[in-house]
């Protein structure tokens, strides 16, 4: 019986946000050992996929740690040490293994460790030795380091954005591992990094003819044309990371080492460069977005206005008020705002109770310069919730999440969800737990970049993106990178980058 080690640590770190302590990760779950099977077996996460494949293949699976995480600032030093040590100790305790499956995000930065994913993979490699195959799954919003590529035998990232294929990606990784353990293949990763900080249209697969779908089609064609090409994985990078290796990359996993694998990566990197200005999401100011939302013809379903600038999925604090303030100044009756993370306001609303009016200084406390300061106003408490929800999908169905103690408030006919902790809004259950039917409001404003589209696009009349100026801002000139390799696009002029890259 094959003995396989499987672990999952999925942190995406925004370097411009405050470091996240261990408590941040424990809220979402730092799950160890035998607790992992029951917790993740019913989910469509990577760990759910590893468990299902192992059961069907008859593997003995050792699972030291699973940390689903919620994007935030860098892991603080204690959090990283605790999570890394659990992985290392669990790997040592596992004894001899035939293979390793590592579910990583690929954009984890820790305080004192810019390449946390590479450090985790290398730590496992150091224990299992050079001959045990390690297959790594990634989120395509990953900044793949040379160390990570060298420590892994194979890399495969999700192929959809919004990401609805965590489970399928895990199954693909397990299939590669099976072939490697059976001696059918000797996989090696050939990494090509672009001269860009972002690319492949952020791997958005919602536009039918966007750069991501065309890039993925090229990757599939490369795999089909050459049986030695095991996997061609596209990563668009996660730009809000101030690290040397930030940006898009292509990981070609080939059977052995051959220059043709690197050449395929170079071709896709060139494609990424040529498409660098092709961004399929049009960005608006807050005022433009709300005006555009009002102009959408009436009809069934909400207009969804999404705030890129304060998206918890990009490390935003989730407490920026610019969009809420604009909505309160010119209200659309029946509109919903989801959500503001403000533990003091959530507690005050809960203490006041359903039906009470409560004066709040709501949101805007963490970084008032980014996305607006507190809204000082009286709100009516409509409902309370413990803030727990289970994803109905399509994004990781079955996965549990929580806002912490929360309340639904109302002012000027606008319903406002106030939570203890920030969460990306990407699942309809996140509204339903407050008694909101997501199909009913004329307007729903949310904090999220793109991930909401999987659940909300089928019910939305229109989706309009805006930029509030929070720390997950796409206006990258408002931020200062100090560690990124140079020259790089878009910080340096195209011609300078092209010259340095040898005439791309
Ligand atoms: Zn992602």
Domain residue limits, the chain:
3-274, 283-473
Average pLDDT (209-234) is 98
CA of residue 378 to ligand 1 center, whole Å: 37
Of the pLDDT bands very low, low, confident and very high (cuts 50, 70, 90), residue 476 is low
Say what percent of the chain tops pLDDT 90: 92
CA of residue 457 to ligand 1 center, whole Å: 18
CA of residue 235 to ligand 1 center, whole Å: 9
Contacts of 502 (CB under 8 A, 6+ apart): none
- What secondary structure, in 3-state letters, does 288-337 show? HHHHHHHHCCCCCCCEEEEECCCCHHHCCCCCCCHHHHHHHHCCCCCCEE
| CA atoms of 323 and 423, how far apart (whole Å) | 16
CA of residue 209 to ligand 1 center, whole Å: 20
Identify each DSSP E strand in 45-104 by its residue range. 60-62, 65-67, 99-104
CATH superfamily, with its number, for domain 3-274:
Response regulator (3.40.50.2300)
CA of residue 161 to ligand 1 center, whole Å: 7
| CA atoms of 424 and 4, how far apart (whole Å) | 33
The per-residue pLDDT for 154 is: 98
CA of residue 126 to ligand 1 center, whole Å: 28
pLDDT in tens, 439-465: 999 999 999 999 999 999 999 999 999
Surrounding ion ligand 1 within 5 Å at CB are: 139, 141
CA of residue 450 to ligand 1 center, whole Å: 9
Residue with tokens 């890259």: 501
Q: Yes or no: say if 180 and 133 are a contact pair by the CB < 8 Å rule.
A: yes
Average pLDDT (289-300) is 97
477 pLDDT above the threshold of 80: no
CA of residue 449 to ligand 1 center, whole Å: 10
Q: 48-52, 224-228, 493-497 — which is least confidently predicted? A: 493-497
CA of residue 140 to ligand 1 center, whole Å: 6
CA of residue 273 to ligand 1 center, whole Å: 20
């Amino acid at each position: 019986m094959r003995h396989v080690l499987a672990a999952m640590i999925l942190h995406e770190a925004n370097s411009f946000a405050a470091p996240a302590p261990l408590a941040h990760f424990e809220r979402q779950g730092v799950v160890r050992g035998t607790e992992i099977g029951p917790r993740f077996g019913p989910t469509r996460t990577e760990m759910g996929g590893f468990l299902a494949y192992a059961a069907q293949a008859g593997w003995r699976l050792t699972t030291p740690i699973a940390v689903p995480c919620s994007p935030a600032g860098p892991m603080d030093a204690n959090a990283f040490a605790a999570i890394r040590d659990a992985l290392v100790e669990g790997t040592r305790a596992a004894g001899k293994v035939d293979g390793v499956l590592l579910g990583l995000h690929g954009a984890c930065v820790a305080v004192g460790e810019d390449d946390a994913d590479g450090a985790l993979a290398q730590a496992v490699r150091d224990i299992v030795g050079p001959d045990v195959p390690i297959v790594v799954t990634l989120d395509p919003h990953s900044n793949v380091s040379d160390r990570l590529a060298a420590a892994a035998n194979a890399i495969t990232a999700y192929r959809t954005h919004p990401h609805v294929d965590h489970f399928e990606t895990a199954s693909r990784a397990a299939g590669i591992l099976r072939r490697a353990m059976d001696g059918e293949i000797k996989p090696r990763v050939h990494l090509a990094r672009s001269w860009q900080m972002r690319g492949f249209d952020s791997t958005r697969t919602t536009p039918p003819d966007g750069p991501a779908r065309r890039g993925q089609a090229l990757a599939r064609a490369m795999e089909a044309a050459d049986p030695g090409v095991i996997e061609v994985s596209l990563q668009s990078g996660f730009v809000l990371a101030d690290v040397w290796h930030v940006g898009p990359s292509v990981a070609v996993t080939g059977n052995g080492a051959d220059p043709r694998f690197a050449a395929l990566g170079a071709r896709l990197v060139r494609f990424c460069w040529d498409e660098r200005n092709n961004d399929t999401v049009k960005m608006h100011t807050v005022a433009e977005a709300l005006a555009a939302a009002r102009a959408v013809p009436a009809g069934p379903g909400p207009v969804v206005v999404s705030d890129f600038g304060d998206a918890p999925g990009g490390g935003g604090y989730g407490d920026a008020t610019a969009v809420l303030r604009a909505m309160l100044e010119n209200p659309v009756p029946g509109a919903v705002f989801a959500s503001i993370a403000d533990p003091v306001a959530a507690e005050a609303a809960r203490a006041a109770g359903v039906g009470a009016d409560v004066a709040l200084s709501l949101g805007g406390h963490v970084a008032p310069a980014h996305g607006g300061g507190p809204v000082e106003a009286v709100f009516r408490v409509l409902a309370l919730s413990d803030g727990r929800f289970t994803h109905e999908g399509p994004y990781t169905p079955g996965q549990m999440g929580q806002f912490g103690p929360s309340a639904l408030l109302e002012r000027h006919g606008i319903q406002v969800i106030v939570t203890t902790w920030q969460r990306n809004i990407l699942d309809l259950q996140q509204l339903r737990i407050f008694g909101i039917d997501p199909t009913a409001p004329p307007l729903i404003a949310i904090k999220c970049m793109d991930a909401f589209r999987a659940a909300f696009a089928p019910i939305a009349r229109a989706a309009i993106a805006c930029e509030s100026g929070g720390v997950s801002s796409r206006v990258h000139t408002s931020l200062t990178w100090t560690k990124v390799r140079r020259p790089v696009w878009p910080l340096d002029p195209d011609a300078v980058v092209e010259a340095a890259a040898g005439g791309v």
